[in-house]
Structure 1
Amino acid sequence: MDKLLLNERTRMMFLESLGQWKEAIEELEAKAEAKRWAKMQHPISLADALSRLTKEDLSKIRTTLDVRGASSLRKQELIDVLVQQIPAKLPRLLGKMDESRYKILKRLAEGGGIGFVSLTPDQLSYWISRGLVFSGTIQGKKTLVIPQEVLAAFRQADGDPAVQEKVRRNTEWLKITYGCLYYYGTLGLTELQSLLKQHAKAEPESIEYLFVLYEAEQFEKNIRIDLDGTTSHSDVWDPKRVKQEHRARPDLSFRPFSKTQLLRAGEPGYVDRNAQYQAFVQFLCNHYVITREEADQLVEECVYAIQNGEELQDTLGMFQQEMEIDSVDMLQEFMRHIVELHNHTRQWILKGHTPDELFAEEKKALRPLPAAKAEVVDFATRKKVGRNDPCPCGSGKKFKKCCGR
């Protein structure tokens, strides 16, 4: 009895601690949200915008922009340096952007340096950590503002054909990269460069390409870059395992995709909704009170579980947690759809091939042996019997007219 009371007390203490931890997190998030959208004015100078930040925030801008010799400066001294450095470094920053980020600046600039674009907290931090866009509340509305010095520098760079060309180039590089990672999961920098060389108009240099990737990672969070340059799709659970599986199949080449296929797979939110995928979605809609969007989301999660090499039984367990599967027949139907989806999903560990494709190739390679010509041996003489020889059965007829027919 005492043991039961102790276990119950421990459980209650754990739940209480968990509740306190959640409250603390929510309080921190609320404070961060209030700070992000504190009252501000427009137009605003770069010095005034920077003064709204902490010394730690300013140091992050200094590090991001690679401003040398300013690490020991006081806050106001650092602000004075950044007021000079941020507009000067803007063309270089623009040269690392793709069209999605460039259009955000363009849209705000066309509104006089003020407007609103829906951004995640990470995306907002991206702009602030480069000193380009700041957030606040103006007349009770959440607003994004470009400081006046940055706005003037952007308008000047916006007319530069070289900047426009780099933005177009970066957009193509990133879409092809995203497409490759959608199909292959994880790739080294050299592998990515090799694929870009096949499909992109401009061949990337290692350092420049890595900078473009890093900037995209900071804003989109849809890829992850390791210290050695190895880059992974954000849904890859274990990049090291994917790379090991690639190396374990040296005779299997990466499945080739056209530039059109890679660009399509590189679009935000792309999912390969093949026939088996759609059949699974329809099955869920037919048997459960669920919207098509909800069913699609479940099957999409199933695809990523398959691509990460999760066991089929574990994938089934995921559905058992979400859905009521109350009969053996229904369980078998779920498993049938999971297996079908598994066999027709392009898998990271298989270098973009589906199991069905590889099985078909293996089957094709197993060609049947040519039919062997039948031979008859006379047991008495131990010699092969010719077609015109007497039949060994003793009938007196030629072999070809008797048993050799």
Structure 2
Amino acid sequence: MFFFTERMKEMDKRQSAKKQSEANTGGALWPELTVPLSLADRLVRLSKGELTEIRTNLEIKGVSSLKKQDLALALVQHIPDALPGLLHKFDETRYQVMKQIAVRGGVSYTMMDDEQLSYFTSRGLLFAGLHNGKPAVAMPQEVLESFQRLNYSDYRECFKQNAEWIKFTHGLLYYYGHLSEEELLNLVERYAGTLGDEYEYHGVLEEAILFYMQIVPDSRGYHNRSLSNLKQVQQEQESRLSISLYPFTKNQLLEAGEPGFVDRTPMHKAFVDFIRRNYSISFENADALVTECVIYIRNGAMPSFVLQFIRQHMEIHDLELTRGFMSSIAALSNGTRQWFLKGYSPNELSAGSQPTAVLQQEQAKADVIDMKSRAKVGRNDPCPCGSGKKFKKCCAG
């Protein structure tokens, strides 16, 4: 676990350095691609550190002591041979990326996310550059030939199993925020039915972490990449011994495991509608703003902090509008599944919780929960918006 965490840190450093270098040079780092692309030609252009990363990612033994030039030549031989084994850790998504480039003769003008391109490049499989004057991604000829020799039917069931493991893992950490390694293994096995060899799952998970960049390994397990106060979430979860983890269904977790998933609760949608009623703003921008609010709430932000965040993006001119925002924030907070609460929303843990349909109708009357103490804010308590007034004289009015 420690070694893998160090790999993640090192990769983040290299990506930051690359982005800074691109900024300093106006992004002029695109080499010319000659297709068919020579693997040797690409590798000799890399630094010793980048070659070492490829060697480490592909678990190639016996070449670590070689000098840069010799290491590059050794990798030319090893990378095509390592491809069949690497595919056993893939899901259908990564296979299809390579297939689409392979069927185009080894070059594609469809660009992918920087992180995902970095994943393939750091395994010696794909390289970005300019081809015919346009940004492109190319597969070295040696890798292309190795890929074309593979039989998809030999991997179909493996891809399906790996995809399910990955989605369950992403879904669990989307809702719980953090899980110990033992908790994660037990839950994935419970939902997937079997994990087979534990080391096989870990191999699949490590590759998925580096490709999807949605979760992060830590000293005790794994956490959602959006979780910013890991220690506090761990302490809060451990202090709530009377609460078990929320029992999600398989379908809920598989849905939450999809890239870019957002749990758009009725309160989330109502907040988006409120913003659009009061501002000239697109649905996409309003939805993105509310989604950011949800991330802050899951990290334990007070309603006053969430309101301050919103004020950074839009002007709130009067008290009535402020009250409307605070009411929406309260409803969103109470209806959001929270990492502190092991996947429950405050509404679900409230003794007086009501059906979702009623909550939608009575959103303006929603109780405010103090996100620090997790207690209901009374009318005579200080208003969580930070005004210094009593709640009944401010946002509850």
Is the 2:174–2:257 contact (alpha carbons within 8 Å) kept by the matching residues of 1?
yes
Identity %: 42
Checking the alignment, whether the CA contact within 8 Å between 2:101 and 2:108 is kept in structure 1 is yes
Give, in whole Å, the separation in 1 of the partners of 2:19 and 2:141.
35
TM-score normalised by L of structure 1: 0.78
Corresponding residue for 2:172? 180
Cα gap change, 1:312/1:184 in structure 2, threshold over 3 Å: closer, same or farther? same
Aligned equivalent of 1:136: 129
Which residue identity is paired with 2:33?
M
Question: For residue 394 of structure 2, what is the aligned residue in structure 1?
Answer: none
After TM superposition, the structure 1 stretch with the greater mean CA deviation from structure 2, 165-174 or 315-324, is 315-324
Q: In the alignment, does 2:119 pair up with 1:126?
A: yes
1:312-323 equivalences in 2 (<5 Å): 312-323=303-314
Alpha carbons of structure 1 residues 186 and 32: separation in structure 2 relative to 1, 3 Å:
farther
Following superposition, the deviation at residue 44 of structure 1 comes to 2.0
User: In the alignment, which residue of structure 2 is the partner of 1:330?
Assistant: 321
Q: Deviation string for 1:158-187 (max 9, x for gaps)?
A: 4352x2222211111111111111111111
| Cα shift at 1:277 | 1.2
Which residue, out of 191, 196, 208, partners 1:199?
191
**Match runs of 1:105-116 below 5 Å:** 105-116=98-109
Aligned residue for 1:173, secondary structure, equals helix
- Residues 72-111 of structure 1: pairs in structure 2 closer than 5 A: 72-111=65-104
TM-score (norm 2): 0.80
**2:277 aligned to which of 282, 286, 305:** 286
Counterpart residue identity of residue 250, structure 1? L
Post-superposition offset of 1:32: 8.7
Distance 1:32 1:103, change over 3 A: farther
The separation in 2 between residues aligned to 1:315 and 1:159, in whole angstroms, is 49
Match of 2:160 in 1: 168
Q: 2:365 is matched with which residue?
A: none
CA contact (8 A) 1:169 1:202 kept: no
Superposed CA deviations along residues 293-340 of structure 1, whole A, max 9, x for unmatched, are 111111111111111111111111112222222222221111111111
Which is higher, the Rg of structure 1 or of structure 2?
1
Pairwise mapping of residues 5-404 of structure 1 onto structure 2 (< 5 A)? 28-29=22-23, 31=25, 33-35=27-29, 37-161=30-154, 163-228=155-220, 230-360=221-351
Match of 1:386 in 2: none
Offset from partner CA, 1:194-229 (integer Å, 9 cap, x none): 11122214425332222222211212211111244x
Number of residue pairs matched by the alignment: 337
Partner Cα distance (1:90, 1:68) in 2: 15
Structure 2 CA distance for partners of 1:355 and 1:201, relative to 1, 3 Å: same
Q: Deviations over 1:79-105 (max 9, x none)?
A: 221122111111121111122211101
Q: Displacement of 1:75 after TM fit?
A: 2.5
Distance 1:200 1:343, change over 3 A: same
- Residue 49 of structure 1: how far off its partner (Å): 2.4
Cα distance in 2, alignment partners of residues 171 and 32 from structure 1: 38
Tell me the SS of whatever aligns to 2:223. strand
Inter-partner Cα distance in structure 2 for 1:25 and 1:187: 31
Unaligned runs of 5+ in 2: 1-17, 355-397
Alpha-carbon distance in 2 for matches of 1:165, 1:202 = 14
Q: Which residue is 1:392 aligned to?
A: none
- Aligned 8 A contact 1:196 1:204 in 2: no
Deviations 1:88-142 (A, max 9, x none): 1111211111222111011111112221332232222211110111122111122
**Closer, same or farther in 2 for the Cα pair 1:136/1:90, shift >3 Å?**
same
CA gap 1:123/1:33 in 2 versus in 1, 3 angstroms = farther
Which residue pairs with 1:368 in the alignment? none
Alpha carbons 2:268, 2:332 under 8 Å: kept: yes
Mapped to 2, the partners of 1:182 and 1:307 lie a distance apart of 10
- Shift of residue 25, structure 1, vs aligned partner: 7.3
Q: For residue 231 of structure 1, give the secondary structure of its aligned residue in structure 2.
A: strand
Q: CA deviation at 1:26?
A: 5.6
Of 216-225 and 345-354, the range deviating more from structure 2: 216-225
Are 1:97 and 1:212, in contact at CA under 8 Å, matched by a contact in 2?
Answer: yes
Task: Give the whole-Å Cα distance in 2 for the aligned partners of 1:123 and 1:293.
Answer: 24
Contact 1:70 1:78 in 2 (8 A): yes
Q: Whole-Å Cα distance in 2 between the matches of residues 157 and 358 of structure 1?
A: 52
Aligned residue in 2 for 1:366:
none
